[in-house]
Amino acid sequence: MRVLVARCTVDYDGRLTAHLPEATRLLMVKADGCVAIHADGGAYKPLNWMVAPNTLTEEPASGEDAAKWVVTNPKGETLTIQLHDVISDTSYEFGEDPGLSKDGVEAHLQQLLANNPEALGEGYTLVRREFPTDIGPVDLLLRDAQGNAVAVEIKRRGEIDGVEQLTRYLERMKRDPMLNGLRGIFAAQIIKPQAKVLAASRDIQCIEVDYDELRGIDSGELKLF
């Protein structure tokens, strides 16, 4: 990973246009090519970013023109970063990441839904658990009644970062011609409203699952039907 602290301006041109005025920011270039620009705040969410695959071109300073990074992707989107003052520029070798270990509930939810995929939709069948992509495995790969591929990411509590994670998996999986009609499902016991809004904007279906019901346990809650 390459990490820069620099005074910079950032311009995005693609589905819309966006501009970040000159300020000191953290720039991250990950081994897979992802580029992210962070402010000193706002938790994990970057101000702007470009996911892989993309091409990063570095242009040195020339005269009064600052050094520049131009990041482009196959969709024609462009992220232009003017580096007015580079304070720190460091690279680190992280090695292979072992991935995220799910807690007991998430792991059990995955097992229960793999054993009973129709809890997510009528006619669903399991292809495999932990379907691999080059950035990590998606929890379940299913087929619907029409034979279309369905990628399922499972969380105990559904938040925005889980939707972003599934989005990245879907972007990689859609390159596989065998996964025709691929779509995504984000499944959790509880899904936060912000995550539902983001998922809807990405054409990802949200499903809240009842852990006790999947285990065959009566929750004791009164129901009309």
Structure tokens at 163: 């939707």
Class of 104-214 in CATH? alpha beta
Given a cut of 90, whether residue 194 has pLDDT beyond it is yes
* Domain covering 2-91 in this structure, CATH number: 2.70.180.20
What pLDDT shows up at residue 32? 81
| Domain layout of the chain by residue ranges | 2-91, 104-214
- Residue 206's contacts (CB-CB under 8 Å, 6 or more residues apart) are 158, 185, 186, 187, 188, 191, 195, 196, 199, 200
Given a cut of 60, whether residue 1 has pLDDT beyond it is yes
Given a cut of 60, whether residue 222 has pLDDT beyond it is no
Instruction: Please state whether 33 falls in left (phi above 0), alpha (psi between -120 and 50) or beta.
Output: left
pLDDT digits (tens, 9 = 90+) for 94-148: 876 655 555 567 888 889 999 999 999 899 999 999 999 888 899 999 999 999 9
Q: Which long-range contacts (CB under 8 A, 24 or more apart) does 14-17 make?
A: 14/75, 14/76, 14/77, 14/78, 15/77
What pLDDT shows up at residue 100? 53
The phi and psi torsions of 22 (rounded to 5 degrees) equal -60, 130
What pLDDT shows up at residue 225? 41
Q: What is the residue-averaged pLDDT of the chain?
A: 88
Q: Is 213 helix (H, G, I), strand (E, B) or coil?
A: helix
What pLDDT shows up at residue 182? 95
**For the whole model, what pTM was predicted?**
0.55
